[in-house]
């Protein structure tokens, strides 16, 4: 197990890869991993993986969700989405399928991509129960069997909504909320708790979950089933009741050398973003924070990838480690392949903007500026976070008068103009002299 090895002071192959990829000393990676502030999700059964580190001192990572729905269950398309997401730069992929043959699609995706794969096993347990009657008919065994099944298949990290407890639901009831529960997995467990009046098995039997995680070095992603679903519910008692629970569970996981991260909002106004990150880091003792967006306005369906990029950039700058992409189809429908492209690129931009602000990834921007200065368009496309769209745009309206410039300014290019006068008149002259006749 990565955490056991790190605590022993022994560097695994995975730690070495992360240290090399990130340009960090191996000792630093080991120290952060031993303390729980850095994770390397890799199931011991997973083969053909390019491991990624997530957490302290590392570049901000991006996850792309794919998966079928009951309405659209095209396995090939979801596999294609996973491949395209990785091609566009997604560091991990989560398969959130809830339609069609869920086992088959998971296996196809795990074979199709080399990045760490995450899933939400309770979806499968709930869907299976729903087919027999209702989601709430799932038993504790059904839930744990689904998790084990995913772990056996080599899934590297799983979302487990352990914090949706009776106490959290009671807070929700007592204090009220506009959107109640918007997390799919969270809603399965909330319904189950309300129906049975019993405690969430993932909380009650958390020790068993840890044993299972230990068997596979399965990373637990502690889901935020009570995440706010609109700005009006942001940072409310139900959300923080759950966070307090997750903070306890993080420490219990670490005591068993189980790698863990914590999932966060969700819908938050911009002025709540930093506070939410700082609180997670404080309550959960620096465990990596994995945020969904955050979505900083409810008013922009069709543009939630952009809204999520605003929230994500600020969150990652404040210390969030891992951004879950949001696509333009969020709140509207199952995303298309085009949506996946837009979503990944938007999240990659947010992650990079934050990494620049954190001072850990500055050089590429300067390289781009130098390429612009030299009108080296090939280099500009090469350095771009996505090169497909800028090439396409420029191709539609190419420059006419001067191929080095762009069709916005053409021969009136500011860079060229100032450059030529500075050159003619001696760039380094210490005084501006009238033109010599």
Decide if residue 380 touches a copy of itself (CB under 8 A). Answer: yes
Considering the complex, state which of residue 52 and residue 341 has its C-beta at the smaller distance from a copy of itself: 341
Q: Which of 77, 269, 283, 376 binds a copy of itself (CB under 8 A)?
A: 269
Decide if residue 122 touches a copy of itself (CB under 8 A). Answer: no
Decide if residue 26 touches a copy of itself (CB under 8 A). Answer: no
Decide if residue 325 touches a copy of itself (CB under 8 A). Answer: no
* The two structure tokens encoding residue 158: 């799983």
C-alpha closest to that of 53 among 38, 42, 37, 31: 38
Q: Which of 314, 320, 340, 344 binds a copy of itself (CB under 8 A)?
A: 314
Decide if residue 394 touches a copy of itself (CB under 8 A). Answer: yes
Considering the complex, state which of residue 255 and residue 414 has its C-beta at the smaller distance from a copy of itself: 414
Exposure letters 241-272 (e unless 16+ CB within 10 A, then b):
bbbebbbebbeebbebbbbbbbbbbbbbbeeb
What is the x/- site pattern for a copy of itself, positions 167-186, by CB under 8 A?
A: --xx--xx---xxxxxxx-x
Decide if residue 274 touches a copy of itself (CB under 8 A). Answer: no
Q: Which of 190, 249, 315, 340 binds a copy of itself (CB under 8 A)?
A: 190
How many degrees, rounded to 5, is the angle at CA 64 between CA 273 and CA 131? Answer: 105
The tally of CA atoms less than 13 A away on the side-chain side of residue 323 is: 39
Q: Which of 26, 44, 275, 401 binds a copy of itself (CB under 8 A)?
A: 401
**End-to-end alpha-carbon separation of the chain, Å?**
78
Q: At what angle do helices 140-152 and 121-132 cross, to 10 degrees?
A: 130
Q: Which of 245, 279, 339, 344 binds a copy of itself (CB under 8 A)?
A: 339
Is residue 94 within 8 A of residue 116, CB to CB? The reply is no
* The two structure tokens encoding residue 387: 């090169």
Decide if residue 208 touches a copy of itself (CB under 8 A). Answer: no
The tally of CA atoms less than 13 A away on the side-chain side of residue 136 is: 11
Considering the complex, state which of residue 214 and residue 331 has its C-beta at the smaller distance from a copy of itself: 331
Residue 173 CB, shortest distance to a copy of itself, in Å, is 6
Residue 197 CB, shortest distance to a copy of itself, in Å, is 4
């Amino acid at each position: 197990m990565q955490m056991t090895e790190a605590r022993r002071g022994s560097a695994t192959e995975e730690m070495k890869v992360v240290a090399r990829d990130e340009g960090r000393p191996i000792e630093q990676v080991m120290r952060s991993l031993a303390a729980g502030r850095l994770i390397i999700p890799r199931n011991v059964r997973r083969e053909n993986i390019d491991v990624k580190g997530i957490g302290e001192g590392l570049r901000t990572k991006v996850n792309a969700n794919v998966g079928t729905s009951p309405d659209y269950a095209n396995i090939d398309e979801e596999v294609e989405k996973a491949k395209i997401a990785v091609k566009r730069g997604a560091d991990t992929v989560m398969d959130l399928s809830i339609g069609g043959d869920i086992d088959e699609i998971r296996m196809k995706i795990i074979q199709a991509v080399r990045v760490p794969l995450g899933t939400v096993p309770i979806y499968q347990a709930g869907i299976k129960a729903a087919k027999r009657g209702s989601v709430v008919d799932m038993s504790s065994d059904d839930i744990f069997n689904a998790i084990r099944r995913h772990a056996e298949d080599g899934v590297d990290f799983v979302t487990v909504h352990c914090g949706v407890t009776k106490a959290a639901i009671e807070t929700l009831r007592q204090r009220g909320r506009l959107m109640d529960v918007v997390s799919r997995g969270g809603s399965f467990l909330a319904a189950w708790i309300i129906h049975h009046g019993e405690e969430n098995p993932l909380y009650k039997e958390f020790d068993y979950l840890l044993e299972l995680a230990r068997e596979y070095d399965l990373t637990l992603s502690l889901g935020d089933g009570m995440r706010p679903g609109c700005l009006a519910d942001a940072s409310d008692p139900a959300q923080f009741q759950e966070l307090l629970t997750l903070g306890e569970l993080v420490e219990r996981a670490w005591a068993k050398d189980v790698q863990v991260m914590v999932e966060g909002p969700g819908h938050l106004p911009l002025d709540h973003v930093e506070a939410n990150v700082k609180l997670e880091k404080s309550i959960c003792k620096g465990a990596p924070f994995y945020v969904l967006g955050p979505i900083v306005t409810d008013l922009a369906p069709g543009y939630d990838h952009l809204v999520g990029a605003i929230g994500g950039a600020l969150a990652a700058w404040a210390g969030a480690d891992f951004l879950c992409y949001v696509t333009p189809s969020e709140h509207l429908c199952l995303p298309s392949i085009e949506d996946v492209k837009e979503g990944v690129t938007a999240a990659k931009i947010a992650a990079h903007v934050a990494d620049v602000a954190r001072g850990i990834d500055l050089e590429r921007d300067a390289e781009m500026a130098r390429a612009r200065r030299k009108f080296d368009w090939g280099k500009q496309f090469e350095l771009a976070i996505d090169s497909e769209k800028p090439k396409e745009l420029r191709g539609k309206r190419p420059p006419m008068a001067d191929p080095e410039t762009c069709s916005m300014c053409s021969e009136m290019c500011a860079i060229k103009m100032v450059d030529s006068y500075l050159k003619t008149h001696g760039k380094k002259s210490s005084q501006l002299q009238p033109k010599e006749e």
